[in-house]
Structure 1
Amino acid sequence: MDERINDHSIRNFVLKPTNLKILKTLLKDKTTQKNIVWTTNEYSPYGSDYVAGKEITPSSVSNLPQLLFDQLIQPRLLKPEKFKLQRTREMAEVFTPSWVCNLQNNIVDNDWFGRKNVFNQMSGKTWKTVSDPISFPSDPHKSWKKYVDSRRLEITCGEAPYLTSRYDVVTGKSIAIRERIGTLDRKLRVVNENTENELDWFQWAKRAYQSTYGYEYQGDSLLIARINLLLTFAEDLKFRWHRKATVQEMGEIANIISWNIWQMDGRDDTVPYGKAKPDFYQISFDELFSNTVNAELTVKLPCRIMNWRAQRSAELSLIKEMNMPFADKTDCKGRKANMKFDVIIGNPPYQEETESDSTRKPPIYNFFMEQAYKIGNVVELITPARFLFNAGYTPKAWNEKMLNDPHFKVMYYEPDCTKVFPNTDIKGGIVISYRDTRKDFGAIGTFMKYPELNKILYKIKANSEGFLDGIIAVPLSYHLSDLMKNEHPDMLNRLRTSAFTNLADIFFEAIPKDGKKYIGMVGLLNGKRIIRYVRKDYIEDTSGTLNKWTLLMPEASGKGEFGEILGSSMLCKPGIGFTQTFIGIGKFDNEEEAKNVGKYVKTKFVRSMVGTLKVTQHNHKATWKNVPLQDFTNKSDIDWTKSISDIDQQLYKKYGFDEKEINFIETKVKGME
C-alpha cells in the first residue's frame, strides 16, 4: 500500500471515447430519468453549466481543459486546497481513513461470521490480509451466497470508501486488490474463491453489485464513487480471469451502479433540485393552485431504489413511514415493497452548516442515525461521542433514549478525535456505535470512558444518599427584575456577562449614595473577575444563594479531557450574586462549609466523577451528578482540615475503593492544590 493512487485513472475513463455510453449511464439519475446534478456552486465561476442545480453531462466533464478537469472530477485529496477547505466548511465533509472503514467493516463481519479476523487482522492502523480462502459457518443461512446477497448500504458515501477501497481517501495511497477492505471488495473476493468459470463469476459479481448500495448529495463525489465501483469490477475481473472487461459487461454493471449508488438529500430522502420529466411525475391539482410562487419548482421528488430480487423499484421513504419494515409497505401502485437493508454503515455529516458566524452549529448526525435505524437491521456509524455523556446540543431526550436502548452498544471510543481525524477538533471524542434490532445487549445507562470507572461509580452510587448537582445553582439564577425592565425598557432582558459593559448605567464600581439598597454581582470584564454593584430591586434571585455563602466555579473550564484541572473557584459571601459566567455550589450559613466545598472540588476523587460526564469545556450542573454529596460541617466523617491529597485517601476508604481503583484515579487525574 505504498504507491500513490493513479490520478489519471478517473480522467482516462471519462475521456476515453469508447466509454461515452457507459459514462452516460453513470451520470443517470434513475428517479428523475435525467442526470445527477452538481449540488454545489464552488465550480460556478467556470460557467453556467457548473452551477449547483445543473445536470452533469458527458460534455460538461469531458470537454474541460486538463487543469480544470483535475480541479473538478478528482478524488478530494487531489483537488486544490481551496476546494477541499470550502467543501469541508460548507458541506461538513469529514473523510474517513481506510483503517477506520476496515475497522467498521470488520466489526460487522465479526458478528456475521461469529468470529474475528475473517478477512484481515488489524494492528493499529494497518492490517494483514488473511491469505487462506474465507471459510463460512455451517449454518445454511450463513453460506457464501448469503454473504454476497446481504444488502449493505453506505450512507452519505462520498467517494464510497466503505464499499470499495481502491485508494485511501485521506492519504492517497493505492491499495492492492488482495489488500482491499470495502464491503464490495470482500464480496468480490468471496465470489473469486467460490466460482469456477467466468459465467458463474459474472452472475455472482452482478449479485454482489446488486446488494451493495450507497447515497451521496454531492454530484462530483457521487460520480467518482460510481466510477470507483465500476473500475473495481474491471480490476477484479482482470485479477481473476486475466482479461479486460467487455463493453457489454461494463454496461451491465454501470446500470446497476446508477441505481444503487444514487444521489439524495439524506435530510428528506429526495433528489437534490429534483423534478421529474413530465411523463414521470405530474403535479397534483392542489399543488398547482397552492400559494407557492412556482408549484412545479418546489416539488420534492422522493428517491426510488431498486429491489433487484423483486425486479422493481420503490420510494425509500416508504420503509421509514411509521418506523415499520419495508415488507409492510406498498408503493404508489399498491404493490408491496419487500426490502430492508441487512447492514447500514458509514460516517454521516456531523453538523448543520449555517450562514451564521456562530460557533454553535446544530448537530445533525443524530438525525442520520435515526433515519438509518428505520431501514436497517444492523446500523454501524462513526459519529461524535458527546451524546453518550448527555452533553452537547443533541436533544437530551434523544441522548437518554440511546443510552437506554437495549439494542445499542459502543464498539469503539476515542476521546482524542485527532487520532482518528487529524486536524479536526471534535469535543467529547469519537464513537463507533452498533445497533442490531434483533439482539438485546442491555442498556448502556451511563457510558464510561474507561471500564475501571464502571465499578467505581457503582460503589459510589451504592453508598450515597445525594449528589452535588442537587445543590448547584445554574448560571441563569439571577435575572433582571420587571421593575428594572419597566424603568429601562431599552436594556437587555436578562443578565449576561457583558452586562457590566452594556448596562454600565445600572452597574457601578462603587455603591452610589442615593439611599437605595445595593447588592454586588461577580462577573467578567476583559477576562478578569470583578464585582459591580446594582440596585437590589433590579435583580431577581431564583436560586436562594444571595444571602448565603456559595462557592463559584466557572461555567466553562478546560477542554473536557478526563482528569483535567478545573478552573479556579471563588468564595461568594452573602449579599453577592453572580452572572451566567459561573455556577454556584451550595448555599451555606457559614464560610467554613463553603471553604470545605472548595477543597472537595479540587480532589482527584471529585474530578474523576466530573470526568465521567464532562466531555466539553462546559461545566454545567449535569456534569456533577455523579459526584456524591458530603457533609461539609465539622461533624462530617471527612476531616476537612487535612490536605487535599489526604482528603482523597479518606474518600477512597469511605467508598471502598481497592488498590487498583485508587491507582487508576491517582494516575489518570491531575493534582490540584
Structure 2
Amino acid sequence: MSAPIVEGKATFALHGHNPDVLTCIANLSNDEVFTPPEFANQMLDTLEQGWAESNDGAVIWSDPTVTFLDPFTKSGVFLREITRRLTDGLADVIPDLEERVDHILTKQVFGIAITQLTALLARRSVYCSRDATGPHSIAKSFDRDWGNIWFERTEHTWEGGRREFRADPLTGREIAVFTNRRCRFCGASESEYARDDALETHAYAFIHASDIRARIAELFGADMQFDVIIGNPPYQLSTGGTGGNGTQARPLYPRFVEQAKAMEPRFVVMVTPSRWFSGGMGLDSFRESMLADTRLRTIADYPDSSDVFPGTQIKGGISYWLWDRDGAGDVTVETYGTAGLVSSSTRSLVEKGSDVFIRYNEGVSILRKVMSVEHEGGEVVFSLPPEKRFMNLVSSIGSFGLDTGFRGNPDSREGDVKVYRNGGVGWIERSAIPRDSPDIDAWKVFVPAAGSGSDSFPHSILGKPFVGSPGTASSWTYMYVGPLESENTARSVCSYIATRFFRFLVLLHKPTQHATRPVYTFVPMQKFSEHWSDDALYEKYALNSAEIAFIESMIRPMELGNE
C-alpha cells in the first residue's frame, strides 16, 4: 500500500532529497549530458524573471493554465523541478495537495524522452514510479502507463545514396542494395544507425517529423499549444564521414531549436554548446538565424563547460538562453566562471558590422577601440578595410593538400621540400605536393591549426608560431601566415602573434580549439618592421587598466624561444 500524500511533508519526494539521486548520475555521453538540478533551477529562475517582465509581474508558478514541455527528457530534472515550484505556487489556487499535484502532472508538465532508459528514469523522477498509473505514482488520474512522458522507438528515414548490385551471400542471386544513405531529418549515416531492436537508434522523435505540431498532437492526443519549451537537447551525432584525421559529427541541437520555435511557445529556455556564437562546421546558417532573432532576451554563458557539467568538456563552453516569442530588443549577456557570475551587460545581440556574437562583455569596448570605426547616422560600425585585416595573410587549412597523416621521407634530397607535420618534419619532392604554391619559396610563419584542448583560463588560445624559411610547406597540422618578404618580417609577425593582445582578438572569434582563417577576423594589420609587445599595443589602442587586466586574466603569456 502506498504512503499517503501528507500536506507539508511532501512525501512524494519533491523536497528534501538526501542525497538528490539526480546529482549522482553519470552522463550518457558528451553529447547527451544530464543537467544538474542546481543548474536546471537557475534556468527556471531566468524563466520566472522573463515571464514576470512580459506579464506585468505575474508569477508563472501561480498560474494553473501554463503548460511546459521538455522534448528531450533524460533524467526528468526539468519536469521534476517545475512540478515542485508549481506545487508551492498553486497552493492558494488548488488547496488540496493531492488534487494539486495530480492537476500539475496531468495538465501542465509534459515530456518526450530520448531513449527507453531515460523515459523510465524521468517517470521515476516525476511520478515517483516508472508507471504513471502504478500504485506508488503521485499522479492519480492517468489512464496510460506513460502518463505525460512519452517514448516510443523512432526510426530514421533513409534517402539518397547509391544503388548497387551485389550477390546475396546465401543464394548467390544478384540483389539491389543502397549505400551511403542518410537520414532526411538528422543526417545520420545508415551504416552507423540502421540498428536492430536491441540498440537505440538515436532517432529523436522531436526532430524526426515534417510537421511538429501534428506530431505532438499524435503523441499527446490533443492539439497542444505549450507556453514553455525547456530542456537540454543532444548536441551532435556522428555522420560517419571523415574530416582531416577524425570522424565528423553533425551539430544536432540546431534542429531541436528550430522545431521548438516552430511550435510558437511563449518562451523557449534551452542549454546548447556556445560554438554557434562564431559559427563553424554545420553552424553558420544557424548562427545567422540566431543573431537575426531579436527575441533572444538572456544568454547565460559558461566558457568552461566543466563549471556546469563536472567531468565533461564541451569545446567552446556551453550556455543557456531565454527566447521570448512576444518580446524583442537588447539581450542581457551574463558570463559565469567557477566562482559564479563574472559580468552582466544588456546590449545589442550583434555589434554593428560584426558577423558574430561578441561573447565577453568586456571585449566589446576593447574591440571598439581596436577596429577602425565609421559613423553612419551616429552609429559606431566595425569596419576594418581589407588591406588592414591580418586575416588576409593567413592561409586556408590544408593549403598544400597534405593531410594530417602525412609523414614524408626522413631524409632530404636535392630539391626536396621540408614539410612541417604532426610530430615533426618530413621531406617530399616538389612535384609530389598535391597543391603546389609559390608560397613554398617565400618566408612565412607557421601556426598550429588547433590550440590546446583546454577551456580553462588563462589560456594560450593559439599554439606557438615559428618561422618557415623558403622551401618549406606544412600538412593540415599547421596554417601559415604569408608570403612574407624577409626573415625579419617573419620574426616581427611571430612577435605579434605571441602577444596577449593578438590572441585575445582571436579568442573573440574562436568558437573551438580549431584556429581556421576566420578566427583572425578581428585582428588588425601592423607594420612588420619591429618587434611587437603588449605594452606597445596597449598604448597604441589606448586600452585602460581594466581592459588590460581583463585581457591578461584571459590570455596566458607566450615565450617564443629561438625558433
Instruction: State whether TM-score is above 0.5.
Output: yes
> 1:178-197, aligned counterparts within 5 Å?
182-196=81-95
Structure 2 counterpart SS, 1:348 = coil
| Structure 2 CA distance for aligned equivalents of residues 571 and 343 of structure 1 | 55
- 1:456 matched to which residue of 2? 366
| Structure 2 CA distance for aligned equivalents of residues 157 and 108 of structure 1 | 18
> 1:474-485, aligned counterparts within 5 Å?
474-479=396-401
Structure 1 counterpart SS, 2:74 = coil
> 1:70-89, aligned counterparts within 5 Å?
88-89=28-29
> 1:305-454, aligned counterparts within 5 Å?
338-352=223-237, 360-375=248-263, 376-391=265-280, 393-442=281-330, 444-445=349-350, 446-454=356-364
Deviation at 1:538, TM superposition (A): 3.1
Q: Unpaired segments of 5 or more residues in structure 1?
A: 1-11, 17-73, 116-136, 165-181, 233-244, 270-290, 294-299, 301-315, 480-494, 502-506, 513-517, 635-639
Task: Read off the aligned partner of 2:86 and give its amino acid letter.
Answer: K
> 1:282-297, aligned counterparts within 5 Å?
none
1:486-545 Cα distance to aligned partner (Å, 9 max, x none): xxxxxxxxx2243325xxxxx462225xxxxx34132236x22x25131x3333546642
Asked if the contact 1:478–1:577 (Cα under 8 Å) also holds between the matched residues in 2, the reply is yes
Asked if the contact 2:366–2:547 (Cα under 8 Å) also holds between the matched residues in 1, the reply is yes
Instruction: Decide whether aligned partners of structure 1 residues 248 and 348 sit closer, same or farther in structure 2, where only a CA change above 3 A counts.
Output: closer
- 1:500 matched to which residue of 2? 407
TM-score (norm 1): 0.59
Deviation at 1:663, TM superposition (A): 2.6
1:313-338 Cα distance to aligned partner (Å, 9 max, x none): xxx98997578x78xx9989xxx975
Which among 624, 632, 642 is matched to residue 520 of structure 2? 624
Asked if the contact 1:468–1:628 (Cα under 8 Å) also holds between the matched residues in 2, the reply is yes
- 1:277 matched to which residue of 2? none
| Structure 2 CA distance for aligned equivalents of residues 475 and 318 of structure 1 | 33
TM-score (norm 2): 0.70
Asked if the contact 2:420–2:473 (Cα under 8 Å) also holds between the matched residues in 1, the reply is no
| Structure 2 CA distance for aligned equivalents of residues 319 and 581 of structure 1 | 37
Deviation at 1:75, TM superposition (A): 6.7
| Structure 1 CA distance for aligned equivalents of residues 272 and 217 of structure 2 | 33
Alignment coverage as a number of residue pairs: 456
Asked if the contact 2:538–2:548 (Cα under 8 Å) also holds between the matched residues in 1, the reply is yes
Which among 525, 547, 562 is matched to residue 661 of structure 1? 547
Instruction: Decide whether aligned partners of structure 1 residues 212 and 319 sit closer, same or farther in structure 2, where only a CA change above 3 A counts.
Output: farther
Instruction: Decide whether aligned partners of structure 1 residues 104 and 577 sit closer, same or farther in structure 2, where only a CA change above 3 A counts.
Output: same
| Structure 2 CA distance for aligned equivalents of residues 203 and 618 of structure 1 | 51
> 1:193-204, aligned counterparts within 5 Å?
193-196=92-95, 202=99
Structural RMSD (CA): 4.1
Asked if the contact 1:521–1:579 (Cα under 8 Å) also holds between the matched residues in 2, the reply is no
| Structure 2 CA distance for aligned equivalents of residues 613 and 257 of structure 1 | 49
Identity percentage of aligned residues: 24
Which among 454, 469, 474 is matched to residue 578 of structure 1? 474
Q: Between Structure 1 and Structure 2, which shows a larger proportion of strand residues? A: 2
1:537 aligns with 2:431: yes
- 2:164 matched to which residue of 1? none
Deviation at 1:441, TM superposition (A): 3.1
1:114 aligns with 2:53: yes
Instruction: Decide whether aligned partners of structure 1 residues 196 and 218 sit closer, same or farther in structure 2, where only a CA change above 3 A counts.
Output: closer
| Structure 2 CA distance for aligned equivalents of residues 425 and 266 of structure 1 | 29
> 1:23-34, aligned counterparts within 5 Å?
none
- 1:472 matched to which residue of 2? 394
| Structure 2 CA distance for aligned equivalents of residues 603 and 220 of structure 1 | 50
Asked if the contact 1:156–1:217 (Cα under 8 Å) also holds between the matched residues in 2, the reply is yes
Instruction: Decide whether aligned partners of structure 1 residues 361 and 292 sit closer, same or farther in structure 2, where only a CA change above 3 A counts.
Output: closer
Structure 2 counterpart SS, 1:345 = strand
Structure 2 counterpart SS, 1:470 = helix
| Structure 2 CA distance for aligned equivalents of residues 388 and 542 of structure 1 | 35
Instruction: Decide whether aligned partners of structure 1 residues 145 and 560 sit closer, same or farther in structure 2, where only a CA change above 3 A counts.
Output: closer
> 1:81-160, aligned counterparts within 5 Å?
88-89=28-29, 92-114=31-53, 142=58, 147-160=63-76
| Structure 1 CA distance for aligned equivalents of residues 61 and 551 of structure 2 | 51
| Structure 2 CA distance for aligned equivalents of residues 317 and 614 of structure 1 | 30
Task: Read off the aligned partner of 2:360 and give its amino acid letter.
Answer: Y
Task: Read off the aligned partner of 1:106 and give its amino acid letter.
Answer: D
Instruction: Decide whether aligned partners of structure 1 residues 462 and 144 sit closer, same or farther in structure 2, where only a CA change above 3 A counts.
Output: closer
Instruction: Decide whether aligned partners of structure 1 residues 656 and 195 sit closer, same or farther in structure 2, where only a CA change above 3 A counts.
Output: same
Asked if the contact 2:106–2:147 (Cα under 8 Å) also holds between the matched residues in 1, the reply is no
> 1:159-238, aligned counterparts within 5 Å?
159-164=75-80, 182-196=81-95, 202=99, 205-206=102-103, 209-231=106-128
- 1:7 matched to which residue of 2? none
Task: Read off the aligned partner of 2:548 and give its amino acid letter.
Answer: I
> 1:595-614, aligned counterparts within 5 Å?
595-614=491-510
- 2:488 matched to which residue of 1? 592
Deviation at 1:215, TM superposition (A): 0.9
Deviation at 1:184, TM superposition (A): 1.5
Deviation at 1:558, TM superposition (A): 1.6
Larger radius of gyration: 1
Asked if the contact 2:127–2:137 (Cα under 8 Å) also holds between the matched residues in 1, the reply is no
Asked if the contact 2:359–2:508 (Cα under 8 Å) also holds between the matched residues in 1, the reply is yes
Structure 2 counterpart SS, 1:193 = coil
1:520 aligns with 2:417: yes
Structure 1 counterpart SS, 2:69 = strand
Deviation at 1:377, TM superposition (A): 3.0
Task: Read off the aligned partner of 1:444 and give its amino acid letter.
Answer: L
Q: Unpaired segments of 5 or more residues in structure 2?
A: 4-19, 158-175, 179-184, 186-204, 331-347, 351-355, 374-383
| Structure 2 CA distance for aligned equivalents of residues 430 and 143 of structure 1 | 28
- 2:143 matched to which residue of 1? 255
